[in-house]
A and B are shown apart, each in its own frame.
Chain A
């Protein structure tokens, strides 16, 4: 039997998710059809809804790309959430401190700081993995908690807004803000940046020696080590740090493009949703742009579902889990038909 393609697999996984999700809503006493209508209306039902979806997709595409890069290299980076917060903290610090600089300099500085902070956050588990032999799954998750609490501390401590009332920072300088892409909407240049990162990653995977090394290390680390042509540890560390940098960039872009300040609850768990985004996209950089948009739609639609159909927001993260499980199951079935 011919092995079905990745697109077919993704569609089957989505159908399975939809069925289980609708079933769980029905069991919970909600009307799945009404819920579905609200989801569509809230995500793509109007020009405004579409722009909200696009804005929400930006951090998901970036963190999804971060996770894809790590997973491809066989690095279980579950830490995009913490790396995102590290990036956001750095972005706000530079965005406030750099007031007076022209936008042409300040915007790149803010984004660079965010990426560096994300990479730094990833460096701790990367070091522990390569030098101390501590698996990165637990350490990256622990670093998430530290990152979230660090942000909470920053917004009520050293970086709290000048009046010291609200748990948030002062706004960043105007020149640190990302330009708006579509006038009259909130769609900012971050979406272009996210797509560009995806495109660059695709070229790197497809056309460079490093991309080949990443794939080799990810699919057969022992073989890569034995053959000796590929510096396995170095490829792993670079992928890990780059993954952290992209996740950090997501935090910086969100601050510079949307919130203009840091809040303790900046992220509703994008770093975790990113895993679903990456897996549904088959870890393929271009596909991840698409699945990021899809999950952006789920996010904007979930708000409408709560408003119009009374469905709890938390249900959306349950759906993310269903997507991951469906992808895994479909993938497993594909392997079997292949054999």
Chain B
């Protein structure tokens, strides 16, 4: 294979692997900025993947699937919010339960709908939409701009949400809820309502990330297909310092690092594939170890409000 073709294939794989992470992580960034850590993001992603699959089959198209997937992710996040924000239960444990429940219920629904053995499900796919002009740029053109529409959503959301967070009154209020909820409340911010919306938004994007997995990435649904992406996305938020622009870049870099596994195989580096599968998780651990000391999380992250007496 000529060098440039290998490079293009690598870049394409990087974006393909990075986009679902980017979508989920950008959503979680908003959630965490409001003071809520949603470990149940994985549950939103897997529900989005199944919702995307069922929606595409029911409504006869990938776009319908995308909408259903987004709503499924939103629903799961709202269940989380009802407990963690509504009742004020511990965010970590609630999120873990939501992830368990998400994986369990999607597995059960899938088995009930398609049988336990599950002949491979073929779905209408979200096809690539090349951006005229940009997609014909040399080397990076097709990798960045000849992708599924969800990819462009990630590109657009990152700067938009950056502007929202750091340049608007609503963004300021959202950050205040995550840094100093008492002060924010005293200044008239409805902290719990803000956190509710921020969590819902994160779930919506998690759902879209999941739908992207089943509709643009795999073209099918399998149980547990989210494969821990929700947790990696939460780590990506840390690596991107809770800034949507940096989070997008971190997610794409992460995609590139994961894409290395295909490269290694292309170049005949014969490592067993289970170790390749473990690679993204090891990489995340290493990145967290090397990076975290230099970042600061929102001060009231994972602290329920009003505080317990």
Assess A318 versus B292: contact at CB under 8 Å? Given A146-B282, A153-B275, A312-B116. no
Closest-by-CB residue of B relative to A331 is B89
Which listed residue (B90, B107, B109, B238) contacts A28, Cβ 8 A? B109
User: Do the beta carbons of A145 and B309 come within 8 Å of each other?
Assistant: no
Are B275 and A139 within 8 A (Cβ)? no
Q: Does A315 contact B (CB under 8 A)?
A: yes
- Bits for B179-209, please: 1 = Cβ < 8 Å to A, else 0: 0000000000000000000000000000000
A128 to B284, CA, bound (A): 13
**Closest beta carbon of chain A to B16's beta carbon, Å:** 20
Taking A138-B235, A332-B89 as contacts, is the C-beta distance between A316 and B274 under 8 angstroms?
no
Say yes or no: A138 contacts B234, CB within 8 Å: yes
- The answer to whether B308 touches A156 (Cβ under 8 A) is no
Decide yes or no: A321 and B101 within 8 Å by CB, A133-B293, A138-B235, A141-B228 being known contacts.
Answer: yes
Q: A138-B234, A275-B96 are in contact. Are A317 and B277 (CB under 8 A)?
A: no
Instruction: Count B-side interface residues using an 8 Å CB cutoff.
Output: 49
Counting CB contacts under 8 A, is A12 at the interface?
no
Judged by DSSP, the binding face of B is: helix
B104 and A315 within 8 A (CB): yes
- Which chain A positions have C-beta within 8 A of B145? none
Known: A137-B92, A153-B274. A317 touches B107 (CB 8 A): yes
Partner of B103, one of A76, A312, A313, A317: A317
Question: What are 26 residue pairs bridging A and B, where the CB atoms are less than 8 Å apart in the complex?
Answer: A29-B112, A128-B285, A132-B289, A132-B292, A137-B37, A143-B285, A145-B228, A149-B278, A152-B274, A152-B277, A157-B274, A276-B97, A312-B108, A312-B116, A314-B103, A314-B110, A315-B108, A317-B103, A318-B104, A318-B105, A320-B97, A321-B98, A324-B94, A328-B83, A329-B89, A332-B87
Interface residues of B (CB under 8 A from A): 37, 39, 83, 87-90, 92-94, 96-98, 100-112, 116, 223, 228, 231-232, 234-235, 238, 272, 274-275, 277-278, 281-282, 284-285, 288-289, 292-293, 308-309
Given A138-B235, A146-B278, 18 additional A-B pairs, CB 8 A: A28-B108, A132-B292, A141-B228, A142-B235, A145-B228, A149-B278, A152-B277, A153-B272, A272-B100, A275-B97, A312-B116, A314-B103, A315-B108, A317-B100, A318-B104, A321-B102, A324-B97, A328-B90
